Amino acid sequence: MTVYESDLPGVGKKHEIELGDGARLVIVTHNTGKREVFRRESADSDSEKLFELDDELARQVGTLLEGAYFQPVQSTDIETLLGDNTLLEWVEVGADSDVAGKTLGASDLRQATGASVIAIERGDEVITSPGGDAMIEAGDTLVVIGPRAACRDFVALVTGA
């Protein structure tokens, strides 16, 4: 995929994305924050405006498009990519999970998978940097960081999948 960027002095910036069939998606980002999105069917045709969004809405829509809330293809868990291969992942502990009711130390999750638990979300409460004696309960959400493969193993271990 090729993205073309050009300056629009006094207006903002323009990005054009090739859609593969000769058409291009054109995004004009105004200095005011407004985004206008156009589609240009071919090099000779005029751009048709599809929609415009203000700055805040554009960011929200952008996050959705990025798949931060829902990734139907890869996994149903929330994950965020840090760098090339490191994931930040939220893993829910089911009632039938093997680790429910164990302490973090006893569950031996880090030794087994290579991914570390950096926080435990329990209802409204968040335990940050939990120690080895922190208890994992059913219904907790573990915030995990680690390489992609380690995170996958971690999810498999906790959810029993």
Partner 1 sequence: MAAELLEFGYLFVVLAVTGAIALRLGLSVIPLYVVGGVVVGPYVAGRFGLPYVADSEVVTLLAELGIVLLLFFLGLEFSLDRLRAARSNIGRAGAIDLLVNLPLGVVIGLALGWSVVEAFLLGGIVYISSSAIVTKTLIDLGWIADPESEPILGTLVFEDLAIAVYLAAVTSLVLGGEGGLVAIGRSLAIAFGFLGLLLVLVQYGTSLFTRVLDVENQEAFVLRALAVVVPVAGAALALGVSEAVAAFFVGMGFSTSGHRETIERRLTSVRDVFAAIFFFWIGLGTDPTLLAAVVVPLVIAVVLTAPAKVVSGYLGGRVYDLSTHRSLRVGVGLVPRGEFSLVIAALAASGSTQVMREVIPAFAVGYVLVMSALGTVLMQRSDLVERLVFRGGSAKTES
Residues that bind partner 1 (CB under 8 A): 6-11, 14, 26, 28, 30-31, 36, 38, 40, 44, 46-49
In the bound state with partner 1, the residue whose beta carbon lies nearer, of 47 and 103, is: 47
In the bound state with partner 1, the residue whose beta carbon lies nearer, of 33 and 105, is: 33
* Distance between CA atoms of residues 73 and 67, nearest Å: 10
In the bound state with partner 1, the residue whose beta carbon lies nearer, of 40 and 152, is: 40
Q: How far is the CB of 40 from partner 1 (least distance, A)?
A: 7
Q: How far is the CB of 144 from partner 1 (least distance, A)?
A: 38
In the bound state with partner 1, the residue whose beta carbon lies nearer, of 42 and 74, is: 42
Q: How far is the CB of 48 from partner 1 (least distance, A)?
A: 8
